[in-house]
Amino acid sequence: MLRAIDGLAVEPRPQGSKKLTGEVTAWRIRVGDFRVLYDVFDVTLVVTVVRAGHRRDVYEHR
């Protein structure tokens, strides 16, 4: 999972990433059964990882 998160610094929208419905800056990537939810701010070139965890838990409290 850390390798996937590190890769976001080079490519914030890698192949397979998906924009979260109803969110302006939120995206997600799959890493096996886990998900990494993150925000991309293009104006300031910042990627902020918001949550990472198992797919059954990661979308709660977003």
- Classify residue 20: in a domain, yes or no: yes
- Classify residue 62: in a domain, yes or no: no
CATH number of the domain where residue 9 is located: 3.30.2310.20
Quote the pLDDT of residue 8: 93
- Would you say the pTM of this structure is higher than 0.85? no
How many folded domains does the chain comprise?
Answer: 1
Q: Which pLDDT band holds residue 19 (cuts at 50, 70, 90)?
A: very high
Q: Per DSSP, which regions of 12-57 are E strands? A: 18-19, 26-31, 34-41, 46-54
**Average pLDDT of the segment spanning 3-17:** 94
- Classify residue 61: in a domain, yes or no: no
What is the domain range of residue 42? 2-54
**Average pLDDT of the segment spanning 4-33:** 94
